[in-house]
Amino acid sequence: METALAFLSPAGAVIAAWWIGTAAIMRLDRLPRRTFPVSLAAGGVLAILGLIAVIAFADQASATGAYVGFGGALLLWAWVELAFLTGAVVGPRRAPCPPGTGRARLFFAVQAVLYHELALLAVGAALLAATWGAANMTALWVFAVLWCMRASAKLNLHFGVPNLGDELLPEHLRYLGSYFSRGPATPLFPVTVGLAVLVAMPLWKSAYAHGAAGFEGTQMAIVATLLSLAIAEHLLMVLPIPQSLLWGSGEAARARGAGAQGPGEGTPS
């Protein structure tokens, strides 16, 4: 019982940060576009503070250090996501997907999000430089989980899943829906989700072995919870649950419904 209760702190912190952070970003990218520079500037300040915190606690192998590493990585990730969803950092192709199939269509999709991917890689490289060989590499592991699962989500959305969640795209990014494919999940889906589950299992086992306490236990519980949330998000792609209901984004759902024949419907690969 005590071990189970010990998981409440790290798991609860991750779930709260994931929920509040996602909702905040979705809210900001639906404000008038004139507010975007202010949002990006404020996010940039927080991201810099997050990186400073990661560097300051890189050699502190403690539960506090694990929480700080998680928080710092999340602030950096959130800044890049905000830049993406406001349209500041997307890709050179800012139009619906041209006619094409197979590799041609994948090439167009890469062009549509290229700058976002490069920004994530740059931030990941900064975290790698800040924590490599340090006692506390929580920030790097958190960012690695976020990046891998985001890449998996993008690929699955491109190749095909039943529930795209494209109603959540802000108006200025609706064209990105044309790079998605609505249909039965491809073999990629069970492979990516299966691999994630195989990684999550030993993480949970390690967290339990350390009682979800101390540096090792807290770090493993944080990373395991984050990965499990990402797996749950993947499962929403194949469940008949509108993601707009999950996030209470009725306005976005109505906007997407009005343009049901637009680019958000996706095109078969």
Mean pLDDT of 16-43: 92
The answer to which of 5-14, 74-83, 154-163 has the lowest mean pLDDT is 5-14
Residue 161 φ then ψ, to 5°:
-145, 155
- Type of residue found at 121: L
Q: Give 211's pLDDT tier (boundaries 50, 70, 90).
A: confident
Q: CA–CA separation, 116 vs 90, rounded Å?
A: 5
Share of the chain above pLDDT 70, in %: 88
Q: CA–CA separation, 135 vs 218, rounded Å?
A: 14
DSSP letter for 211, please: T
Q: CA–CA separation, 87 vs 177, rounded Å?
A: 14
Distance from CA of residue 241 to its chain's centroid? 19
Q: Give 166's pLDDT tier (boundaries 50, 70, 90).
A: confident
Mean pLDDT of the chain: 88
Share of the chain above pLDDT 90, in %: 74
Q: Is the pLDDT of residue 241 over 90?
A: no
Distance linking the first and last C-alpha atoms of the chain: 50
Question: Following DSSP, what letter does each residue of 66-130 receive, concatenated?
Answer: HHHHHHHHHHHHHHHHHHHHTTSS--S--SPPPS--HHHHHHHHHHHHHHHHHHHHHHHHHHHHH
Mean pLDDT of 181-208: 95
Q: CA–CA separation, 227 vs 164, rounded Å?
A: 20
Contact partners, residue 35, CB within 8 Å, separation at least 6: 28
Q: Most confidently modeled of 8-12, 35-39, 165-169?
A: 35-39
Mean pLDDT of 51-59: 96
Return the residue matching tokens 């395991």: 224
Q: Give 246's pLDDT tier (boundaries 50, 70, 90).
A: low
Torsion of CA 199, 234, 151, 262, to 10 degrees: 170
Looking at residue 152, its pLDDT comes to 96
Mean pLDDT of 80-97: 94
The greatest distance separating any two alpha carbons of the chain, rounded to the nearest whole angstrom, comes to 58
With contact defined as beta carbons under 8 Å apart, do 249 and 167 qualify? yes
The answer to which of 125-129, 146-150, 196-200, 241-245 has the lowest mean pLDDT is 241-245
Q: Give 266's pLDDT tier (boundaries 50, 70, 90).
A: very low
Q: Give 253's pLDDT tier (boundaries 50, 70, 90).
A: very low
Q: Give 239's pLDDT tier (boundaries 50, 70, 90).
A: confident
Cβ burial 115-151 (10 Å sphere, 16+ → b, else e): bbbebbeebbebbeebbeebebbbbbbbbbbbbbbbe
